[in-house]
Structure 1
Amino acid sequence: MTTAAGATSQVRYQAIVAIVTAALAGALIGVALTATAPVPGVAEVSEVVSAAIPIVRVLLDLAAVTTIGLALLSVLVGYDRPKLTEPIMRRARPIALAASLVWTTTALVTLVLQTAEYRPQVPTVSFADIWDYVVQVGAGKALLVVAVLALVQVGLGVLTLRHGEKVPAEVRVGLGLFALLPLPVTGHAANWDYHDYTMISMELHVMGAVAWTGGLGAMVVLLAANRTLLAHALPRFSKLATLCLVLVSATGLFNAVVEILLNPTISLFTALFTTPYGQLVVLKMMCAAGIAVLGAMVRWKLMPRIVRHERTALATWATLELTAMGLAFGFAVVLTRAPVS
């Protein structure tokens, strides 16, 4: 049983609106939780810069999610039925190209904003200031690398737009995941006693979260109305999602515990419930629990029916899951910059 041609090409923009809105809301909630009073005699960062950094960083993360998710979609639907998959991928390619452009742009804008944050006493940021930030600060180098790799992804997007799946999706996915590796350096203040371990854990955490969210989002937006392709792609994605759930949960818990337990000035429970860092950790844990429940609903209740090509409420349940993921991304952006105490 297949869907009608019109349904096959349907794009569900509600899911995009849901995750973007939730991510921005999560970032703003995090900013509100971590706001501090000005210190007399200390140069203060502009409120505009302080608010803009997490917002732009959320957009950067979502652009990466979109770029990688749409490349992953090509792998999930397979290459053996081009008559079915090509109409979907024709829609995906320009979106992926636009997302990679946003990824590049937001990385550069974040670089400028973090330079302004680094030098609050300077009224305007010059190219020399930005270069000094890149040379002197690891986060500056990381953002520049991310921008360059995202720009390479733009080039691959242009080639894919012209030549289709002759540009291997695995290359696009691999490059996208590789471009995520410097991101933890741009925000997280890892405990230096376990710096190497926490950096590896953070990188795995970011890659798992992006692949999971991107794959789910791509399927909901472009495949939800196509029962034939969905029945093929969802079981494959479910295995990936299970792996990502375990990876993201384990690394997220490890990162939080290391940051809190190795701080000698505060106990675990006090840090969790009385500090902005701990409160953001708790909020992320609540999101993770909600995502796991919603994912289980899709896996055990809906997927058997989807495999039989039956109509389901997948779009609704998956949009709820994406909303929780968006909130988690928003909280995470602020969490990377929040002190433990």
Structure 2
Amino acid sequence: MSALMQRAGAPALLVAPVLMALVALVATGLTGGLSPLGIEGLPEPGSLTRVGLPIVLVVRDLAAMTTVGALVLAATCVPPAVGTKEHALGPARRRLVMCAQLTATVWAVGGLTLIALVYSDASGSAVGGPGFVSQAVFFAFEFELGRYGLWGAALAAAVATGCVLATRVGGVGFIALLAIAALWPMALTGHAAGSLNHDEAVNLQLFHLIGISVWLGGLIALVLVGRLLGESLAATVRRYSTLAGGCLVMVTVSGVVGAWLRLPSASAALSPYGVILALKLVAVAMLAAAGWWHRNRTIAAMEPGSGHAFRRLVAAELVVLLGAAGLGVALSRTAPPAPQQAPQPLTAAEALLGSPLPAPLDASRWLTAWNVDTLFLPLGVAGILGYLWAVGRLRRRGDTWPLLRTVSWLMGWLLFVWATNGAPGVYGRVLFSMHMVQHMTIATAVPVFLVLGTPITLALRALRRRDDGSRGPREWLVSMSRSLLLHVIGHPLVAAGMFVVSMVAFYYTSAFAISLESHTAHVVMTLHFLLTGYLFAESVVGSDPALHRPPYPMRVLLIIGTFGFHALFAVSMMASSTVLAADWFAALDRPWGRSLLADQYLGASIGWVMGEYPILIMAVALIVGWVRADGRERRRYDRREDRDGDRELTAYNAYLSQLRDAELTHRPAPPTMEPRSTSREKEQHR
């Protein structure tokens, strides 16, 4: 079986870039993307740029997909070699890491080459012309499109460097996350990122890239290491098939919603852009059918002598996936259909926000104003569905799970969805007061509810343990909970410091203005405050395993000190006469609502007030946890005394008797009492 896979793999891998480039060139040529504009007076970049740009895009995209797929497969599906430790790489994992190192290098070089070709295409300057190099460098550093390319190339180079340094599977997992993050600059410059709804399109493009990268790259990686997997081939293929199924859903949903955003009407589906989109959907449907057959027939029949069918199926999936990826490159070189009516000039607010200025905020719009965030809405839905699935698995096997924890978890994610998709998300970049509502909800309220849901405990009970040394979700969760990095940033003092310092640094530097102007900065800001808030809440009121938690009196001091500083920060902002991000808010030219300074005062007041109810929730949770901990300690002490025949009580009574009978100058030594921590350790040991 493995030999057949190896013989099938070499030709497929050699033909892959050629096939993908051929599809991209043919589709681009049919839509006119390879032809000169033919408009008198406009400069032409030349045939080298027109033909070379889609080819370099193919090489860059295929290298990125293979890098991501190889690292994800090595980190999640491939077991260690027989006789080696679980964290060791082994031959199969090492081959995948070496492959990722090579393709990440190609990814970085291709990204740098694309910067020059994109500049040539945008400016109409021929490659190699007088002053072309200096102009391309200026474009790379001074223009947004060029900086995206530089960031993508830098991240790809970091992935290649990480592959060189990786010696354990834990490092491979970290590099896989870095490789997935390196897809973000590609999403910013993808074919779906140029519409008015720019942020939504970028988010969808990211999901699309992640799905197709893990799917196609994982399939290529599977072909690469088939010969080295031996007896574990079937299990590895089964795990990859599960990943591919999730990627199928991700690619389909993101592609359909992205097409809905890009096509202005139903008749636009007959445009060249719409036809290419339809072909991609047909390819996804074919792959879905092949995946169903693959999971239900081929994997079950993977025995010696049955490799021919698997080889044909792998070849067919590769052809269709490469064709779909080539069509994606063609889409990036094809102009989307224009609306039937002539577009109106964009207002200043539309140019800055990517959407029209919302209507005046009144009481009803706090609940009725919604704008779907295509990044954070799926994150919230996934958090809810994953938790309910885990609770359902526990109950199906007869275990119980506290209802209050489930309600708390759901409340946290519902608040998160409202803060990012509801009124705070709609008005957060228009009004400072609504931005503060969004910030405080995400940084203080949401983390407390999520922590009280104890998700790590639930996951450890619900997820299955793997017995072949590979790392699934449960193994990665355990590894993460034991990592030095988590113990450092999750230390109570460090977590509280990050929570406080990041707030001051965010608002009293240019970071706040940048988060309003840049979608990337806004995403980083949201995730950062969610993470720091979660770590702080976990260190104070959490009960999940892993993090160090101080004694209860110290936790009370942490809450008082942290939220006291937060109140002081809000008061100082209320007293300030300087408008934060004044250029941004003034450029929106908002015709309704309070003045900028009055709205900032209102926002600071809201921030002060919204810091109070998380304190109340944390205080109640802290008191309940404290009482329960003391109760457990008393019961533990009683059990120990019952086993030891009231040894400590007898010793103390004897000591009192000695005190009564002894002279004042010869005071007896008190009995030695066993510390509570020692008794707890002995109790656990027994």
TM-score (norm 2): 0.45
> Is the alpha carbon distance of 1:7 and 1:81 closer, same or farther for their aligned partners in structure 2, counting shifts above 3 Å?
farther
**How far is the alpha carbon of 1:62 from its aligned partner?**
0.9
Q: Any idea what SS the aligned residue of 2:41 has?
A: coil
Give per-residue Cα distances to partners, 1:79-100, cap 9 Å, x unaligned.
4746597232343333222111
Instruction: Give 1:228-307 correspondences, 5 Å limit.
Output: 228-261=231-264, 267-269=265-267, 271-273=268-270, 275-306=271-302
Q: 2:315 aligns with which of 305, 312, 319?
A: 319
Aligned to 1:16, which of 13, 25, 35?
Answer: 13
Q: Which residue of structure 1 lines up, in the alignment, with residue 64 of structure 2?
A: 64
Q: Does 1:212 align with 2:215?
A: yes
The yes-or-no answer on 1:153 pairing with 2:159 is yes
2:28 paired residue number: 31
Name the amino acid aligned to 2:23.
G
Asked whether the 8 Å contact 1:97–1:158 carries over to 2, the reply is yes
How many aligned residue pairs are there?
Answer: 327
Q: Which moved more, 1:200-209 or 1:128-137?
A: 128-137
CA 1:93–1:324: 2 relative to 1, 3 Å: same
Partner residue of 2:147 out of 126, 131, 141: 141
For 2:174 and 2:58, locate their aligned partners in 1 and report how far apart those are by CA, in whole Å: 25
| Cα distance change, pair 156–104 in 1 and its aligned pair in 2 (3 A) | same
Structure 2: distance between partners of 1:304 and 1:8? 17
204-213 or 31-40, which deviates more: 31-40
What's the counterpart of residue 115 of structure 2? 111
Higher relative contact order (CA 8 A, sep 6+): 1
Query: Aligned residue for 2:97?
Result: 93
- Say whether the 8 Å CA contact 1:44–1:120 is kept in structure 2: yes
- DSSP 3-state at the match of 2:197: helix
Structure 1 partner of 2:178:
175
- For structure 2, the 5+ residue unaligned runs are 338-686
Partners in 1 of 2:64 and 2:146 — Cα distance?
18
Q: Contact between 2:8 and 2:311, CA under 8 Å: does it hold in 1?
A: no
Counterparts of 1:32 and 1:235 in 2: how far apart (Å)? 39
Q: Is 1:132 the counterpart of 2:143 in the alignment?
A: no
The residue number in structure 2 matching 1:337 is 333
- The answer to whether the 8 Å contact 1:189/1:337 transfers is no
Q: CA deviation at 1:15?
A: 2.1
**Per-residue deviation at 1:45?**
2.3
Runs of 5+ unmatched residues, structure 1: 262-266
Q: Is the 8 A contact 2:92 2:229 kept in 1?
A: no
Range with bigger deviation, 247-256 or 214-223 = 214-223
Measured in 1, the distance between the counterparts of 2:164 and 2:202 equals: 32
Report what 1:47 is aligned to: 47
SS state at 2:263 partner: helix
Aligned equivalents of 1:44, 1:126: Cα separation in 2:
14
Distance 1:282 1:167, change over 3 A: same
Could you tell me whether the CA contact under 8 Å between 1:287 and 1:325 is conserved in 2? yes
2:43 is paired with a residue of what secondary structure?
coil
CA spacing shift, 1:334–1:138, aligned 2, 3 Å: farther
| Partner SS, residue 168 of structure 1 | helix
In percent, how many aligned pairs have the same letter? 26
Question: How big is each residue's C-alpha offset from its partner over 1:33-73, in whole Å with a ceiling of 9 and x where there is no partner?
Answer: 22254112211221210111111011011111221222122
The alpha-carbon deviation at position 139 of structure 1 amounts to: 2.2
Q: Does the 8 A contact of 1:112 with 1:125 survive in 2?
A: no
Max radius of gyration: which structure?
A: 2
Any conservation in 1 of the 2:79–2:232 contact (CA below 8 Å)?
no
3-state secondary structure, aligned to 2:182: helix
For 1:301, the aligned partner's letter is: R
What SS is found at the alignment partner of 1:280?
helix
* 8 Å contact from structure 1 (residues 201, 251) kept in 2: yes
Residue 264 of structure 1 is matched in structure 2 by none
Q: Are the structure 2 counterparts of residues 258 and 291 from structure 1 closer, same or farther at C-alpha, using a change threshold of 3 Å?
A: same
* Contact map agreement 2:20 2:323 (CA 8 A) in 1: yes
